[in-house]
């Protein structure tokens, strides 16, 4: 017997079982999330039962290193789960997306930082706000950091936070953008989340007042861009050599795909038999209503297909020890930004063709309509800016985006 082949086949079989289990659990959670929709909206954050359910299922660990209790699976495994959960609640999927991606990013940090976060509890979670608004003063061994950051999704459920800031330019060098890792005791969460869409994300403000952050708890953007971060020497799976900018942006666009699927399922289920009150005609016979359903189906399929193709390309480069060419990264970045506006355009049509009943807040299409349009406003989904960069680069202009 070839023991090596047997071992490889066994490991592959175990991984397939884990992947199947994750997808099944996510599918089973959809109805639970729908049942908790009102509670989630009233809380303005996820119910603890939802966070516990996702933790127990291992969802936050899908991209976390095995050496710290993670599953170390592939991006497709993670985004399949996120998209499925969004069918029941986009706020839940959004929080899972950004928080679980932080476990991927922590794998890029110096191992001392990873040990500090996960050494005693590998279920520890991290929120973030990457706005470059922090005030940084270099000191011996690290930095003094102060500032106020907005939109830290899931912050009430986390014990650490990533915040963005520029180390000031000096000695002819450009400003050095970094992500600073800060423990809960060194920051305050300002509960000010009062919005119309993505209500349950609890994306509150973070305030830090002159705290020390050691050098090892910072991650340089240029290292993430070059796919040569300190953690790569330990976490050497090609998974961790995907450009950071490419994987994070998918965390804030992909939940729109699942929310659109949930809205489409509701729309079809209701309109199969619904009769318009004004004309007494079946909505199912309305060409515009038919096209709205077909177009939503197209966007869902198209968005998933392009995303998975792009991750396959990036993983191929990583496996060969190569970095994707800048031209391809610009295009893939644009592909990610297109998801939210495309989903918003078609969910708007589903909303319109749902009739007057669709304006009620507890209507599933209404919730998806508000949530997808809220997600559309995230800076990472600014399709015009990224489209201009792609078009300009195609015509010989310099790249203007370094979050690639």
pLDDT tens for 306-333 read: 999 999 999 999 999 999 999 999 999 9
Matching residue, tokens 């201009």: 388
292/300 Cα distance (integer angstroms): 13
pLDDT tens digits along 179-227: 999 999 999 999 999 999 999 999 999 999 999 999 999 999 999 999 9
For 222, half-sphere exposure in the C-beta direction (CA atoms, 13 angstrom radius) is 6
As a whole number, mean pLDDT of residues 81-98 equals: 98
pLDDT tens digits along 239-280: 999 999 999 999 999 999 999 999 999 999 988 887 765 565
Secondary structure class of 269 (helix, strand, coil): helix
Secondary structure class of 19 (helix, strand, coil): helix
DSSP state of 196: S
Predicted pLDDT at 10: 54
Q: Which helix (H) or strand (E) holds 51?
A: helix 48-57
The CA distances from residue 176 to 51, 167, 169, 223, in Å, are: 35, 5, 7, 11
Give every CB contact of residue 132 below 8 A, 6+ residues apart in sequence. Answer: 164, 165, 166, 177
Check pLDDT > 60 for residue 81.
yes
pLDDT tens digits along 154-192: 999 999 999 999 998 776 677 899 999 999 999 999 999
Matching residue, tokens 């991209």: 63
Q: Which domains does the chain have, with CATH numbers?
A: 3-118 (1.10.540.10), 126-219 (2.40.110.10), 242-394 (1.20.140.10)
132/207 Cα distance (integer angstroms): 14
Listed residue (120, 23, 37, 35) closest to 71, CA to CA: 23
As a whole number, mean pLDDT of residues 226-239 equals: 96
User: What's the token pair of residue 48?
Assistant: 């603890």
Give every CB contact of residue 104 below 8 A, 6+ residues apart in sequence. Answer: 63, 64, 239, 240, 247
Predicted pLDDT at 368: 96
Residue 283 contacts residue 251 (beta carbons within 8 Å)? no
Give every CB contact of residue 122 below 8 A, 6+ residues apart in sequence. Answer: 61, 64, 68, 69, 70
pLDDT tens digits along 5-59: 434 455 567 888 999 999 999 999 999 999 999 999 999 999 999 999 999 999 9
pLDDT tens digits along 279-313: 657 877 789 999 999 999 999 999 999 999 999 99
pLDDT tens digits along 92-151: 999 999 999 999 999 999 999 999 999 999 999 999 999 999 999 999 999 999 999 999
Check pLDDT > 60 for residue 2.
no
Listed residue (283, 253, 256, 276) closest to 380, CA to CA: 253
Matching residue, tokens 């792009």: 310
Predicted pLDDT at 6: 35
Predicted pLDDT at 279: 61
The CA distances from residue 220 to 99, 105, 133, 225, 358, in Å, are: 19, 11, 15, 9, 46
Residue 166 contacts residue 157 (beta carbons within 8 Å)? no
User: What's the token pair of residue 148?
Assistant: 């106020």
Predicted pLDDT at 11: 59
């Amino acid at each position: 017997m070839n023991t090596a082949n047997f071992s490889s086949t066994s490991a592959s079989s175990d991984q397939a079982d884990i992947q199947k289990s994750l997808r099944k659990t996510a599918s089973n959670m959809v109805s639970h999330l729908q049942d908790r929709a009102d509670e989630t909206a009233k809380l303005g954050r996820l119910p603890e039962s939802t966070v516990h359910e996702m933790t127990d299922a291992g969802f936050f660990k899908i991209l976390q290193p095995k050496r710290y209790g993670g599953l170390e699976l592939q991006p497709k495994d993670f985004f399949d789960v996120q998209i499925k959960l969004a069918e029941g609640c986009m706020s839940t999927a959004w929080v899972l997306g950004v928080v679980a991606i932080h476990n991927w990013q922590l794998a890029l940090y110096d191992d001392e930082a990873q040990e500090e976060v996960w050494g005693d509890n590998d279920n520890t979670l991290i929120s973030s706000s990457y706005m470059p608004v922090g005030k940084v003063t270099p000191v011996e061994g690290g930095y003094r950091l102060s500032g106020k950051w907005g939109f830290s999704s899931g912050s009430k459920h986390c014990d650490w936070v990533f915040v963005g800031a520029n180390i000031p330019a000096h000695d002819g060098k450009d400003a050095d953008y970094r992500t600073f890792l800060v423990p809960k005791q060194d920051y305050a969460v300002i509960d000010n989340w009062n919005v119309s869409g993505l209500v349950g994300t609890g994306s509150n403000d973070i305030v830090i007042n002159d705290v020390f952050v050691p050098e090892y708890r910072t991650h340089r953007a240029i290292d993430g861009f070059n796919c040569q971060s300190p953690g790569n020497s330990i976490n050497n799976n090609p998974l961790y050599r995907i450009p950071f900018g490419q994987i994070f942006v998918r965390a804030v666009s992909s939940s729109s795909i699942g929310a659109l699927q949930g809205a489409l399922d509701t729309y079809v289920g209701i309109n199969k038999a619904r009769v318009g009150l004004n004309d007494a005609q079946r909505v199912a016979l309305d060409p515009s209503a038919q096209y709205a359903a077909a177009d939503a189906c197209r966007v869902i399929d198209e968005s998933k297909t392009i995303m998975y193709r792009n991750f396959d390309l990036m993983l191929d480069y990583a496996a060969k020890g190569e970095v994707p060419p800048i031209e391809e990264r610009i295009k893939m970045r644009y592909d990610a930004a297109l998801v939210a506006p495309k989903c918003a355009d078609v969910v708007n049509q589903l909303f319109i063709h749902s009739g007057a009943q669709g304006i009620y807040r507890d209507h599933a299409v209404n919730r998806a309509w508000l949530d997808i349009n809220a997600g559309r406003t995230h800076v990472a989904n600014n399709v015009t800016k990224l489209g201009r960069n792609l078009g300009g680069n195609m015509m010989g202009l310099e790249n203007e985006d370094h979050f690639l």
